[in-house]
């Protein structure tokens, strides 16, 4: 995740891209954040001043999971901005006092490359230390609570691109670890 915290809209929300990568089985890439708290999420990151949404998408894709525009195809994107408020205790120390949270455009990408193209150790400051494939709806119940509403809205809006039905309560994810990754922390 890059970009500065002073790139805020008038309501204190930082423009951001959210990235949902799926494989041919309809599973989505789920990354474990660096830091030892066993926190998992989709790749995401800020849109820098002067950068288009698509430029931010491809920069964050490269930084966070080592993929290029040739490794994926855009299937769909959310129509509007999806917002979440970041609780005070979760805000970065260098955040602007006006920072309230993120406003995000979400993209659904199909992975064209093999699993071995996914590399979480290529960025300057890795965001993830492991990743795995999970079922499409699994992240809604597993991501940190303050992001759940945005995840639910993004997944619901993007589901038709995969011909998926709306979320079914009680869906469980596939906990298999992707090739080349493990559930233990890797050295970046």
Averaged over successive runs of 10 residues, the pLDDT of the chain (188 residues) comes to 66 96 97 90 96 98 97 98 91 79 97 97 89 98 96 97 70 41 34
Residue 30 covered by a domain: yes
Residue 123 covered by a domain: yes
Residue 152 covered by a domain: yes
Residue 37: the pLDDT is 83
Count how many domains the chain has.
Answer: 1
Residue 40: the pLDDT is 97
Residue 180: the pLDDT is 36
Residue 124: the pLDDT is 83
Residue 96 covered by a domain: yes
Residue 4 covered by a domain: no
Give the C-alpha distances (Å, rounded to integers) separating 92 from 46, 87, 178. Answer: 13, 10, 30
Rounded Cα distance between 23 and 12, Å, is 35
Residue 188 covered by a domain: no
Residue 35: the pLDDT is 87
Q: Find the CATH number of the domain harbouring 98.
A: 3.90.79.10
Instruction: Give the Cβ contact number of residue 96 at 10 Å.
Output: 15
Q: Domain containing 79: what range?
A: 13-162
- DSSP three-state, residue 178: coil
* pTM of this structure: 0.84
Residue 2 covered by a domain: no
Residue 171: the pLDDT is 46
Long-range Cβ contacts of 37-44 (<8 Å, 24+ apart): 39/144, 40/139, 40/142, 40/143, 41/139, 41/143, 41/144, 41/147, 42/18, 42/139, 42/143, 42/151, 43/18, 43/19, 43/127, 43/128, 44/1, 44/16, 44/17, 44/18, 44/19, 44/102, 44/104
Give the C-alpha distances (Å, rounded to integers) separating 26 from 55, 57, 161, 180. Answer: 25, 21, 10, 20
Residue 3 covered by a domain: no
């Amino acid at each position: 995740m890059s970009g500065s915290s002073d790139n805020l809209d008038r309501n204190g929300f930082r423009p951001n891209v959210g990235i949902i990568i799926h494989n041919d089985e309809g599973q989505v890439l789920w990354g474990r954040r660096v830091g030892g708290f066993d926190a998992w999420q989709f790749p995401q990151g800020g849109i820098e001043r002067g950068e288009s949404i698509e430029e931010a998408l491809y920069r964050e894709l490269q930084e966070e999971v080592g993929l290029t525009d040739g490794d994926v195809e855009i299937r769909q994107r959310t129509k509007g901005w999806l917002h979440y408020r970041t609780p005070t205790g979760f805000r970065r120390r260098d955040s602007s006092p006006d920072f309230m949270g993120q406003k995000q455009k979400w993209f659904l990408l199909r992975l064209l490359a093999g699993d071995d193209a996914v590399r979480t150790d290529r960025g300057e400051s890795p965001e993830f230390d492991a990743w795995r494939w999970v079922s499409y709806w699994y992240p809604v119940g597993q991501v940190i609570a303050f992001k759940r509403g945005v995840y639910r809205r993004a997944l619901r809006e993007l589901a038709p691109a995969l011909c998926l039905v709306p979320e079914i309560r009680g869906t469980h994810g596939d906990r298999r670890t992707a090739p080349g990754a493990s559930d233990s922390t890797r050295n970046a």
